[in-house]
């Protein structure tokens, strides 16, 4: 990984920090000691007069120190989309956002559907990445939804989960086989839910707003029907299933029922679906053309409630960079997507500042919860864990300016939005990979 490196073997003590570890519900004033890239001490006893000789001491000024964020879904461009994002630019944006592990999507050109391409992503990330990158691979060859990829071999090569990216597998028989096969190897299947027939030519949420703007709408049922189908198949054959980016009150209800039955299911929501609603499209603003689409206010509130009560397990950026040519078009023809790695933390902190969730609850959705779902050795401040850390100022006010974001593409749905909370420093394996004071 690139970035400033602390000397191997020389301990680093982070003192005077608000220690936040959702894995243990710890919230205390103290410090943390890093030795050889691992956490070797944490708590009230780590302070300036109680650190090893020769240790580098960093005063955290009372800022929040939490496990580095884990983003379960981000498009990093490579291979084939280098004009929109690269592993170097995307992981720099991640580091600036306090994200220390990025789970990359396979919707590249060519698609990540064979061993060599999984290895390519890992190699590029090792050479050029500022943070950790763990690739997902395709469920179906070429994301075509017709033939299953070699899931077992891809997992052996390093794929941490399987998804067809923004595509939905329409063939229920094929999806059943994928779930059944994945169960044999205990693999995680992640799926975006949108019935193509119901969505049709829709480009925003179906409703009064779409009618007023003269735009074709995507009904809530387009998502919920697929979520319900997938959950029925999980009940039939088993498997580990993750609904990626749900956006409707009906989908929340379906996931809640599945969890009540004891099914091994999880789900994510993206910041845009709990921070924004369909009114953002008001002036045909293509930065607000997203997948899943921005929904009605009742759906936005349902997503917040489901995050607070634990029905929704994780918050994911749904980072989808698009170049100006793809976005500066009539709304119906513009590409879907928003960059989100750098804004994941501040937008999510709105849930805390609005008193909808506690700070530990918000952080859990981006640390220990995704680590548990993906079975990664991350997301915690436990002794012996990798020193992947996010130091952030929870209260600082600033305004998001898309042009100043570090992603190669600048298509942010949150451009111009006032927020509170910003990363101060990011560490990966004990290395300081981002320092706002030095930026």
Q: Exposed, middle or buried: residue 98 (CB in 10 Å: 0-12, 13-18, 19+)?
A: buried
Quote the tokens at residue 133: 């990158």
The pair phi, psi for residue 370, each rounded to 5°, is: -65, -35
Number of alpha carbons in the 13 Å side-chain half-sphere of residue 300: 17
**CB-CB contact of 370 with 70 (8 Å):** yes
Q: Using H for helix, E for strand and C for coil, what is the string for 200-250? A: CCCCEECCHHHHHHCCCEECHHHHHHHHHHHHHHHHHHCCEEEECCCCCHH
Residue for token digits 């501040």? Answer: 346
Residue 143, C-beta contacts closer than 8 angstroms, at least 6 positions apart: 106, 107, 111, 113, 164, 165, 167
Quote the tokens at residue 183: 């169960």
Residue 333, C-beta contacts closer than 8 angstroms, at least 6 positions apart: none
Query: What CA–CA distances, in Å, run from 81 to 74, 84, 85, 167, 243?
Result: 13, 6, 6, 17, 25
**CB-CB contact of 270 with 192 (8 Å):** no
Predicted local confidence at residue 53, as pLDDT: 86
Bridge partners, residue 66, by sequence:
390
Q: Give the pTM.
A: 0.96
Predicted local confidence at residue 200, as pLDDT: 96
Predicted local confidence at residue 32, as pLDDT: 97
Residue for token digits 């720099």? Answer: 92
Residue burial 233-250, b: 16+ Cβ < 10 Å; e: rest:
bbeeeebbbbbbbbbbbb
The pair phi, psi for residue 82, each rounded to 5°, is: -60, -25
Q: How many Å separate Cα 381 from the centre of its chain?
A: 20
Give the whole-angstrom CA distance, residue 247 versus residue 89: 28
Query: What CA–CA distances, in Å, run from 367 to 28, 346, 359?
Result: 18, 15, 12
Predicted local confidence at residue 8, as pLDDT: 55
What would you report as the CA-atom Rg of the chain, rounded to the nearest whole angstrom? 21
Dihedral sign (CA 328, 333, 334, 335)? negative
Could you please report the per-residue DSSP string of 269-329?
E-HHHHH--GGGGTT--GGG--SSPP--HHHHHHHHHHHHHTSS-EE---B----HHHHSS
**pLDDT per residue as tens digits for the range 19-65:** 999 999 999 999 999 999 999 999 999 888 888 888 999 999 999 99
Number of alpha carbons in the 13 Å side-chain half-sphere of residue 419: 24
Closest CA to 228 of 197, 181, 263: 263
Q: Which domains are seen in the chain, by residue range?
A: 68-374 (3.20.20.140)
Residue 112, C-beta contacts closer than 8 angstroms, at least 6 positions apart: 104, 106, 118, 121, 135, 136, 137, 138, 159
Taking the CB of residue 316, how many other CB atoms lie within 10 A of it?
Answer: 26
Q: Exposed, middle or buried: residue 26 (CB in 10 Å: 0-12, 13-18, 19+)?
A: middle
**CB-CB contact of 230 with 191 (8 Å):** yes
Predicted local confidence at residue 128, as pLDDT: 97
Ranges of the chain whose pLDDT falls below 70: 1-9, 439
Give the whole-angstrom CA distance, residue 32 versus residue 19: 8
Predicted local confidence at residue 10, as pLDDT: 85
Closest CA to 253 of 218, 290, 298, 187: 298
Give the whole-angstrom CA distance, residue 408 versus residue 216: 30
């Amino acid at each position: 990984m690139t970035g400033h490196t602390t000397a191997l073997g020389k301990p680093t003590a982070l003192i005077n920090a608000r220690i936040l570890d959702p894995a243990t519900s710890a919230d205390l004033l103290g410090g943390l000691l890093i030795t050889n890239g691992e956490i070797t001490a944490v708590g009230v006893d780590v302070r300036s007069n109680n650190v090893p000789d020769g240790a580098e001491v960093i005063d955290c000024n009372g800022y929040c120190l939490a496990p580095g964020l884990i983003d379960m879904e981000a498009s990093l461009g490579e291979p084939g989309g280098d004009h929109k994002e690269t592993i170097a630019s995307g992981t720099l944006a991640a580091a600036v956002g306090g994200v220390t592990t990025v789970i990359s999507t396979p919707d590249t050109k060519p698609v990540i559907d064979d061993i060599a391409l999984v290895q390519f992503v890992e190699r590029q990330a090792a050479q050029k990445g500022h943070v950790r990158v763990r690739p997902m691979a395709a469920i179906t060859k070429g994301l075509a939804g017709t033939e299953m990829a070699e899931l077992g071999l891809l997992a052996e090569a390093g794929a941490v989960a399987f998804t067809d990216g923004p595509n939905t597998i329409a063939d229920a028989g094929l999806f059943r086989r994928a779930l059944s096969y994945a169960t044999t190897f205990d693999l995680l299947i992640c799926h975006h839910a949108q019935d193509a027939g119901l969505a049709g030519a829709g480009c925003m949420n179906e409703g009064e707003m779409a009618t007023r703007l003269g735009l074709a709408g995507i009904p809530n049922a387009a998502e919920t029907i697929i979520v319900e189908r997938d959950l029925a198949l999980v009940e039939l054959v088993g498997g580990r299933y993750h609904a990626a980016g749900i956006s409707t009150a009906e989908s929340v209800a379906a996931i809640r029922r599945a969890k009540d039955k004891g099914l091994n299911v999880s789900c994510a929501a993206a910041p845009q679906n709990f921070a924004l609603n369909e009114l953002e499209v008001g002036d045909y603003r293509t930065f607000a053309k997203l997948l899943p689409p921005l929904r009605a206010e009742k759906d936005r509130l349902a997503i917040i409630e489901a995050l607070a009560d634990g029905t929704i397990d994780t918050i994911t950026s749904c980072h989808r960079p698009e170049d100006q040519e793809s976005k500066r078009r009539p709304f119906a023809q513009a590409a879907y997507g928003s960059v989100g790695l750098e804004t994941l933390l501040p937008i999510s902190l709105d849930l805390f500042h609005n008193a909808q969730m506690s700070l530990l609850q918000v952080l859990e959705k981006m640390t220990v919860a995704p680590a548990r779902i993906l079975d990664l050795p991350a997301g915690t401040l436990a002794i012996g864990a990798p020193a992947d850390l996010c130091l952030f100022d929870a209260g600082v006010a600033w305004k998001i300016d898309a042009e100043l974001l570090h992603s190669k593409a600048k298509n942010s749905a949150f451009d111009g939005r006032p927020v509170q909370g910003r990363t101060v420093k990011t560490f990966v394996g004990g290395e300081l990979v981002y320092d706002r004071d030095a930026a």
